[in-house]
A and B are shown apart, each in its own frame.
Chain A
Amino acid sequence: MASNDINELEAWNERIFAHARGFGLDTYPQEFEICDHEQMLGYMAYSGMPSHYPHWSYGKNFEKLKTLYDYGVTGLPYEMVINSDPCLAYLMRDNSFLLNILTLAHVYAHNDFFKNNFTFSSIRAEFTIETFKAHADRVRRYIEDPSIGLEKVERLLDAAHALSLQCRRNLAIRKPTPAEQEERRLEESTPSPDPFQSIHRRTEYVPPDLTKTPLYPDEDILLFVRDHNPFLSDWEKDLLTIVHEETQYFIPQIDTKIMNEGWASLWHKRIMEELDLPQGMRLEFIVRHNQVLSPNIGGINPYYLGMKVWEDIEKRWDNPSAEEEREYGPRKKGGREKVFEVREVERDSSFLRRYLTEDLIREMNLFEYEARGNERVISRVADKESWRAIKETLIHNVGMSSVPVIKIEDADYNSNRVLLIKHYHEGRDLHLEYAEKTLQYLHQLWKREVVLETIINEKKSLLCFTDDRLVIKGLR
């Protein structure tokens, strides 16, 4: 991009930023880096990070993206934004000028979302880039260390990656320390005062087993292994920490994909409309906007779904229907105020649960499908009876809800240092081949037998991984 283009871009940016601020968007300072498509692919493969530790899976990512791009299956995204302070985004110089302007507007809304949504509050955005850089340096150091080397580091990272998403989801809730857990355990086992104790038989006091590890089921599998496997060396523990921390960084983004993209689309549209574009650019804007926001038939386009819901919230709070008025009373807030509140306090699952209405589901013709043999078959369509079920299924498939909840129950199962983990089954079975391989990784990290309790075909089962093979035992 030539320098006069940059000057022009800066001129446009000034206006865009003024409008963004005028709408009430509250952003971190913003930085744009101009890159070519090859660099863009590179950033995408590493989730946008300027520096990231090496692992073959990112090479696989890159190859996949490049193949798709080269064969024209997918284009490159217009925007790639990193949640950091200052917020970093990339502009592709091969893109048209209008597309870059559109990206500017879109990025400011993401920036605002990162800064204000509660799920991101657990992240120290000012350290993002530095943290990833430090992680990369540490991993590289282990690789270069002759006593460790690439093979071992890779083996450990493979295992850690497999389990990385098995961690706490709501980071806004603080995890109680072991001392606090102990206290809580004691408190729970103390019988509550009984006003009729003179006529009741006295409940027997059972002292809680405080030696049990963990006291409460623990969802942070990597951290638990790090803290409770005495056979891990320091570099292994450090790698587990690195993978865990990186995952924690991405969880809010996974968990707010629909809201975030919808939010950015909502505002880029409004900002662009304020800009009073010349005719040619205006037409191109309409085309591009409609490309991004076109419904994805057969699947879900988060941009489209998100924006629909945002617009609907604003409309319903500005002009509530008579029916709503009757049910909820007069609105205390206007639409604008409401959407800004919602962008602060919701995540995708709660956002859809509260604001995806029956009318919207019908309007978008959402349906539920299930696998039958090799086919995907529509099982429910949006009608009076099943819209709730469709909504429920959708909520179970967004963000971290699409990852099974698995917690560590006991690190000393059968007094044998066997690791017992439990799948909190809510209707969906695990994919067994994947479960087996993942258990193998956990076995590799724990260095002893691991047992997974789950439900297979409505039958409670134990998947025991030991001595390089899986044994499935049915229970009851």
Chain B
Amino acid sequence: METIFHPYHSSSAERSDRSAGDRLRHRQKVREAIRQNIADIIAEESIIGKDRDRIIKVPIRGVKEYRFVYGENAPGVGQGGDDAEPGQVIARDQGKDNGRQSGDQPGIDYYETDVTLEELVDIMFEDLELPFMERKLLREIEVEHHHRRKGYRKKGIRVHLDKRRTARSRLKRRKATHRKEGEELGSQRFPFHKDDLIYTHRVIETRRESNAVVFCIMDTSGSMDTMKKYLARSFFFLLYQFLNTKYQRVETVFIAHHTEAREVTEEEFFHKGESGGTFISSGYRRALEIIQQRYHPSLWNVYVFHCSDGDNFETDNSAALQAAGEIAEISNLFGYGEIKPLGSGYYGSSMIQFFSQLDRDNFQTVQIQRKEDIWPAFKSFLVKDRLRKEAG
């Protein structure tokens, strides 16, 4: 007999995870690829104020295996039913692997991976090179229960059953029953009755100081490009995460402005490129209006941050200064970040110098040139908030 059978050994099966090393290496490459594109991903995804377990599809470039292959104008052959006719569409969107073609077609190497927001945030922190301690601070959001007891109810859920009061009401009823019937308190069984059950009642309390609202104001004039938006978004994101650790409820308001300001959704905020000039004051005025209407400073902690690349019409400067003063008056913290990627800035049109006339404790200007600047800028921004807390 020429044929040999090698029986199955579970021990060799355990040893045989030989692809482990290569899988690890592959995942590292995927991660690396995400890191390299983090600016694009963050700039394209809505991450502020989203659930941390949200899964984001990230297209991966850089782990493709390239070869010389034929392109678009190469026809193929397939097998059809009786009804195949010229002109019939058999597939759409070559980007997806529909299991039709052999694996050497370029379309199929298109690669997408799922990452959770949590992971993405990790990668972003890595990219920003945050110190580990700080990272921890931002990641661990403490969840406090703000349920307060308020009275008792006859109905409720099992976990809220107040055993002590329930037992007492049973005793009361028992006594009353015996008195009425004039019997001795004997050994007769006296079970709980539905009416004995007493539940605690809880209300969710909104504490005044647990409300915060973040106003993200951004210049969306033509000069704000993807990189600038990434920097701005990273900053807003840090701010949001940080406030989340301090407040129970954090709301965000996005205001996009060029020569006039609009309140927009996050998506629009980062995606709508607009053009034209810049009136910074318009953004501030709109923020003030919204604060008046919805977030009264007596109920809300207001944080305002404004990102711009520093171009403003000369004529608007004094109006901007005045509005900035008003915002500083009613907000906890008001920041102005000027984003000038290296080599793009010309010194002349910086608002930072101009805003230095505004002498407020809770107003801070920061300049961001590179992504490495974000963290120091963020820290210096928060210092102002702490000072105010101590003072108040």
Contact = CB atoms under 8 A, between A and B. Distances in A.
A125 to B, nearest CB: 15
B13 A35 contact: yes
B25 interface: yes
Contact of B77 (A54, A165, A393, A427): A393
Contact of B76 (A35, A46, A369, A423): A369
B93 A34 contact: no
B7 A34 contact: yes
Interface string A61-75: 011000000000110
A57 B29 CA distance: 10
A34 B72 contact: no
Interface in A385-435: 390, 393-394, 397, 402-404, 406, 423, 427-435
Interface in B48-91: 63-82, 84-91
Contacts of A38: 13, 16-17
A199 interface: no
B101 interface: yes
A262 interface: no
B372 to A, nearest CB: 25
Contacts of A369: 75-78, 90
Interface residues of B, number: 59
A162 B66 contact: yes
A371 B106 contact: no
Nearest to A456: B71
Contacts of A45: 19, 22
B68 A56 contact: no
Given A73-B99, A428-B71, A431-B106, A6 B5 contact: yes
Nearest to A457: B73
Given A36-B8, A428-B70, A434-B69, A59 B3 contact: no
Identify whether the interface residues of A are mostly helix, strand, loop, or mixed: mixed
Given A364-B79, A366-B78, A366-B80, A39 B16 contact: yes
A438 B5 contact: no
Interface centre among B3, B6, B23, B85 (most CB of A within 10 A): B3
A58 B67 CA distance: 16
Contact of B22 (A1, A9, A62, A434): A62
A427 B71 CA distance: 11
Given A367-B78, A370-B75, A379-B86, A6 B65 contact: no
Contacts of A39: 13, 16
A366 B77 contact: yes
A377 interface: yes
Given A367-B77, A375-B92, A393-B77, A13 B3 contact: yes
A101 B67 CA distance: 39
B75 A393 contact: yes
B204 interface: no
B4 interface: yes
A376 B90 contact: yes
Contacts of A403: 67-69, 104
A408 to B, nearest CB: 13
B24 interface: yes
A312 to B, nearest CB: 15
Nearest to B27: A59
Interface in B1-52: 1-8, 13, 16-19, 21-29
A297 interface: yes
A436 to B, nearest CB: 8
A165 B23 CA distance: 24
B102 interface: yes
A301 B79 contact: yes
B100 interface: yes
B275 interface: no
A33 B7 CA distance: 6
Given A30-B2, A378-B90, A435-B68, A42 B75 contact: no
A14 B1 contact: yes
A60 B24 CA distance: 9
Interface in A156-174: 161-163, 165-166
B349 interface: no
Given A161-B65, A404-B68, A365 B81 contact: yes
A328 B200 CA distance: 99
Residue in B63, B77, B86 whose Cβ sees the most chain A Cβ within 10 Å: B77
A280 interface: no
B26 A35 contact: no
A376 B72 contact: no
A15 to B, nearest CB: 12
Contact of B88 (A30, A93, A295, A378): A378
B4 A32 contact: yes
B356 interface: no
A73 B99 CA distance: 9
B206 interface: no
B23 A438 contact: no
B94 interface: yes
B19 A93 contact: no
A397 B76 contact: yes
A59 B84 contact: no
A29 B65 contact: no
B80 A55 contact: no
Interface in A283-297: 295-297
A88 to B, nearest CB: 9
A434 B71 CA distance: 9
Contacts of A434: 66-69, 71, 106
Contacts of A378: 80, 84-90
A371 to B, nearest CB: 5
Contacts of A126: none
Nearest to A16: B3
A59 B23 contact: yes
Contact of B3 (A17, A34, A304, A394): A17
A300 B101 CA distance: 8
Nearest to B91: A376
Interface string A12-32: 011001000000000101111
A377 B85 CA distance: 10
Nearest to B15: A39
Given A31-B6, A35-B8, A299-B78, A42 B18 contact: yes
A76 to B, nearest CB: 15
Contacts of B81: 297, 365
Nearest to A3: B7
B17 A298 contact: no
A437 interface: yes
Contacts of A300: 77-79
B1 to A, nearest CB: 7
Residue from B73, B78, B91 with most neighbouring chain A CB atoms (10 Å): B78
A6 B7 contact: yes
B14 to A, nearest CB: 9
Contacts of A34: 5-8
A20 to B, nearest CB: 10
Given A404-B69, A438-B66, A377 B87 contact: yes
Contact of A33 (B6, B63, B85, B93): B6
B349 to A, nearest CB: 34
Given A58-B22, A429-B71, 6 more contacts: A29-B3, A33-B6, A34-B7, A60-B26, A369-B75, A371-B73
20 contacts: A6-B5, A34-B7, A36-B13, A39-B13, A54-B22, A56-B22, A59-B25, A62-B22, A295-B79, A296-B100, A369-B75, A369-B90, A371-B73, A378-B85, A381-B85, A427-B73, A429-B71, A429-B73, A430-B71, A431-B106
Interface of B: 1-8, 13, 16-19, 21-29, 63-82, 84-94, 99-102, 104, 106
Closest 10 CB pairs of A and B: A59-B22, A59-B26, A431-B71, A437-B66, A59-B23, A56-B25, A428-B74, A394-B77, A34-B8, A376-B91
